[in-house]
Structure 1
Amino acid sequence: MPTSTTNHGPRDRDLVVAITDAIADATGREPFELEPLYETIDPEALSALFAERETADVSITFQYEGHAVRIDEAADVHVDAAPPN
């Protein structure tokens, strides 16, 4: 299944913004048209989990707006380009 990737590095934008922008790209919608991320996952907890990228040995996958979103240990955001059937 094709995926799109949004890199989120230490000088890049906020992780939550990277997620909503990646989903907006995948869905062809504007970020403000999306369901609020906090209705799917706790954005503060998510940001805290990846705050220490050098020590984070974790990845997380969740569903948002019908797409699988995976954040890897480098805090790169991967979104399935097509929603699952």
Structure 2
Amino acid sequence: MSLDGYEEVAVAVTSAVATAAELNPLDLPPLADVGVDPEALETLFGTTHDQSLTFTFRYAGHLVTLAGDGSLTVDQEGG
């Protein structure tokens, strides 16, 4: 999945995880509640893409990886 087309990185992450988990995005906890700062995500991955950046974190039973090339992957934990 690509971050392109989303106004905010946090929205892209929440949408991708909700799709993977077959949940409504509103049923997921806010990213800040799981220790991820949405503003920091926006700063690092929002407008300019440093190809060397990657960030992986756990969210709602999934591993989320953001990459500097603008890609977003969501994998089920333990799967």
Q: Which TM-score band (shorter chain)?
A: 0.7 to 0.9
Asked if residue 23 in structure 1 is aligned to residue 52 in structure 2, the reply is no
Pick the structure with more helix per residue.
2
- Give the C-alpha shift of residue 72 in structure 1: 0.9
2:60 equivalent in structure 1: 65
8 A Cα contact 2:9 2:42, kept in partner:
yes
Q: CA RMSD in A?
A: 1.5
Greater relative CO, 1 or 2 (CA 8 Å, sep 6+) = 1
Alpha-carbon distance, 1:57 to partner: 2.3
Question: In the comparison of the two structures, how many residue pairs are matched?
Answer: 76
Q: Structure 1 length as normaliser, TM-score?
A: 0.80
Tell whether the 8 Å contact from 1:57 to 1:73 is kept in structure 2 after alignment. yes
Corresponding residue of 1:74: 69
List structure 1 segments (4+ residues) > 2 angstroms apart after TM superposition. none
Match of 1:3 in 2: none
